[in-house]
A and B are shown apart, each in its own frame.
Chain A
Amino acid sequence: MMRLFDLSLRHKVPLWGSLLIVVSTLAVSTALMFRAYDDLKQDLLASSEGLGHTLAKTLFPALLHDDLWRAFEIVRSPFHEDATRSPREVEAIFVVNPEMQIVVASDPLRLPTLSALADIGGDRAQLARALAASPLGGTRAFDFDDSPRIYFATPIAEAGRQIGVLVISHAKAGVRGRFLDLAASGALIGALVLAVILPINWYWGRRMAQPLVALASGMDALVHGQPSQLPREMYAYHDELGQLFDAYCDAATALHDKALLEQEVLRSERLAAVGRLAAGIAHEVNNPLGGMLMALDNLKQRGPLYPAVAKTMALLERGLQQVAGTVGALLVEARVAPRPLASHDFDDVHTLVEPQATARQLALHWHVEVPDSVELPAGFVRQILINLLLNAIQASEPGGRVRLHAVAAANDLRLVVANAGAPLPDAVREHLFEPFVSGRVGGHGLGLWVTYQTVIQLGGRIAADCGEGEVVFTVTLPLKKEPA
């Protein structure tokens, strides 16, 4: 039983609804049928009483004058010659005299004139006894057990003189048949109503339950920290359920945004920390390095050296130069006086990267919509562009394509560098802008880190996306804003 109550609302709502509908339809039908049966009986009594009174009144003079034919015509009058069913299931009408003999009957073949009522057989004997036992005050019904008929007896009397009893007999089968007809039509209507209402209930129940079920599973996911959005079209109304839906959607959105924000903050902090650490180390290494290179230079200028020493010194100098180069890359800072970015800077960048692209048989798509002068430091932008473009060229397969799309809008400059190629693996994307992370063999992994740091210094944003067989880097740099 409990399992029934534990069923999903998806089944429970339509089931309970259907149950209620069926029960109420049955209850109403049963009540109506009882009522109909009662009405039928009352109706029968009333009509028989009316008929009995009318016939008894007209029969009185006919019986008084022993006018049998007239009496016969009177008791036959309610029967229609052609009607297959006589009115109100009247089976027979007959008159008995005080000696309980049939005076006249609508069906003389079965109830012959002057035959004793008790001799006719069956329930007629019971009727004869009942009629003889007590005088009639008015119309009375006689319903004997296991008799196939109901009798309504009306005294034929005038001014206290009773000369006979008029009996109207109804076949119970007829009454029952009429009731069954009524019941059948009632049942048919009930079935039709059910046929219309049950599907509506089923549809409505499912419609109510579906969003609730979705909400429940959504809440479940929410609790486990995996908020998922529900389509609002699932329940487009603004009742309490709709409000619940709205509230859930808001909560899910807020949680999703919060999670994204947290991720972003975490990443930024990590990158900033790494940046500070790298810059600190680079600074600490750079000072002695400068001294060492200076010392080597002085030693070279002092005079001729032994070839072996000169060889060793050259080796040392190359090594130190490499260290200086690496360290220099880590030290992101303005080395030259800032100059506004001009459109010819893009031409320069093109000239610089073209040989590399040609070497790898790549096509360069160049689309630049930039005014003559843009309020951004040219050096940084050039460095960003060169880094990204070289990165793209390196990442492309030979015969591929690299494109640049630069557009200056009212408030910002958008640079899009894209190359055809496989999308970046998630593991790479996660640490894309960190130092010493390289997507390929042979790179020191500082290019994107430096680019990132530069963009951040300029107050901009950088994002990497993969779509339609392209890897796209988008840089947005705000205009009219001093670099931080």
Chain B
Amino acid sequence: MKTKQLPAGNPTRRRTLIRLMRLMGLALAPVAASAQTDLPRKPLRVGLTPAFVHDDYGVMEEWRRYLQGKLGRPVEFIQRDSYRETMDLLRLEKLDFAWVCDYPYLSLRDLVRLLAVPLNQGRPFYRSYLIVAADDTVRKSMRDLKGAVFAYADPYSNTGYLAPRYQVQQLGENPATFFRKTFFTWSHRKAIEAVSTGLAQGAAVDSYVWDTLARVRPDLTARTRIIDRSPEYGFPPVVAHRGVGEEDFRAVQAALLGMRDDLTGKLLLDRLNIDGFVVGERRMYDDVAKMMRAFGEYR
């Protein structure tokens, strides 16, 4: 069966031209770059994690479209419920960028570069909150939680795992036996729920998540009480795979930093409950590195 004769044969010729230009582009990248802007490109793959309140799919979709518009190329959001999975995707080079916790960032520091750090209440820092049930008037510090059922957020969460374990260690106790039972909820929000329902007597959660929930779901946070606030740590950063080209790196960084400067971006930031993005520095995460070192995980 033969297809119909195409008029003038132009499409075929143009396709050949494109292929040729691509080949040239590979050889003479800087020259060909401007010529390639209107051509379909492979999408930028961004990994999202429970490092922030990521279950409002409406906001996620709007943010994706916003970035797509700013960058002029397809953007794909790849959502995972555990840091481990996102870290694996980065290792497998299935992600170009990812918004991860500071603990995974440091764990993967040879694989990723710091791209931007969100501003939480005007500053690129956050803390770990130690919470108990609101009607629990007995427990006032980590020491009082000895022998309790304790909820961790994620084994690669700083505020939800590393920080509380470090705190227990500082008390001279072994984090593996200090609590009667521990379990992972795989998100800070669920860790708050675990405490508010009484399943766990204590949990350590991301201050940013708790504060955001206090704003949007005050009924959830009202049943919990913060008994301890950790020192400040660098906020979960957006990182870029080292394989990402310098140009894409700059473009995405500019798009994120520029969100503060236009109305749509501002509205999105407001809904994400952050104040914007800044270029971060590695030493903001030195305290996290110190804690990791305490567990022999940072060399």
**Interface, chain A (partner B; CB < 8 A):** 66-69, 72, 76, 104, 107-109, 112-114
Contacts and interface: CB of A to CB of B under 8 A. Distances in A.
Contacts of A114: 149, 180-181
A104 B199 contact: yes
22 contacts: A67-B183, A68-B181, A68-B183, A68-B199, A69-B185, A69-B186, A69-B199, A72-B194, A72-B197, A72-B199, A76-B197, A104-B199, A107-B198, A108-B197, A108-B198, A108-B199, A109-B197, A112-B198, A113-B181, A113-B199, A114-B149, A114-B180
A113 B198 CA distance: 9
A108 B190 CA distance: 15
Contacts of B185: 69
B149 A113 contact: yes
Interface string B128-152: 0000000000000000000001010
Contacts of B181: 68, 113-114
A389 to B, nearest CB: 117
Nearest to B185: A69
B149 A69 contact: no
B194 A69 contact: yes
A69 B198 contact: no
A72 B184 CA distance: 12
A69 B183 contact: yes
A68 B198 CA distance: 13
Given A72-B199, A113-B149, 11 more contacts: A66-B183, A68-B183, A69-B151, A69-B184, A69-B185, A72-B197, A76-B197, A108-B199, A109-B197, A114-B149, A114-B181
A67 B183 CA distance: 7
A113 B195 CA distance: 12
B22 to A, nearest CB: 48
Nearest to A73: B190
B84 to A, nearest CB: 14
A68 B194 CA distance: 10
Contacts of B197: 72, 76, 108-109
Tell me the dominant secondary structure on chain B's binding face.
Answer: mixed
Nearest to A104: B199
Nearest to B180: A114
Interface string B232-249: 000000000000000000
Contacts of B149: 112-114
Contacts of A67: 183-184
Contacts of B151: 69
A76 B196 CA distance: 14
Contacts of B190: 69
A112 B185 CA distance: 17
B194 to A, nearest CB: 7
Nearest to B186: A69
Interface in B160-182: 180-181
Contacts of B183: 66-69
Contacts of B199: 68-69, 72, 104, 108, 113
A104 B151 CA distance: 13
B254 to A, nearest CB: 39
B259 to A, nearest CB: 34
Interface in B235-292: none
Contacts of A76: 197
A413 to B, nearest CB: 114
Interface in B178-211: 180-181, 183-186, 190, 194, 197-199
A108 B223 CA distance: 14
Nearest 7 CB-CB pairings of A with B: A68-B183, A109-B198, A108-B198, A108-B199, A69-B185, A113-B149, A72-B199
Contacts of B194: 69, 72
A341 B194 CA distance: 131
Nearest to A71: B183
Nearest to B191: A69
A107 B196 CA distance: 11
A104 B199 CA distance: 8
Nearest to A109: B198
Interface in B63-108: none
Nearest to A69: B185
A154 to B, nearest CB: 21
A76 B197 CA distance: 11
Contacts of A66: 183
A79 to B, nearest CB: 11
A329 to B, nearest CB: 128
B160 to A, nearest CB: 12
Contacts of B186: 69
Contacts of B184: 67, 69
Contacts of A108: 197-199
B200 to A, nearest CB: 8
A364 B181 CA distance: 134
Nearest to B199: A108
Contacts of B180: 114
A406 to B, nearest CB: 113
Contacts of A107: 198
A156 to B, nearest CB: 17
A69 B183 CA distance: 7
A108 B196 CA distance: 10
Nearest to A72: B199
A264 B198 CA distance: 112
A59 to B, nearest CB: 14
Contacts of A104: 199
Contacts of A72: 194, 197, 199
A113 B150 CA distance: 11
A337 B198 CA distance: 139
B190, B194, B198, B199 — most chain A CB neighbours (10 Å): B199
A107 B194 CA distance: 11
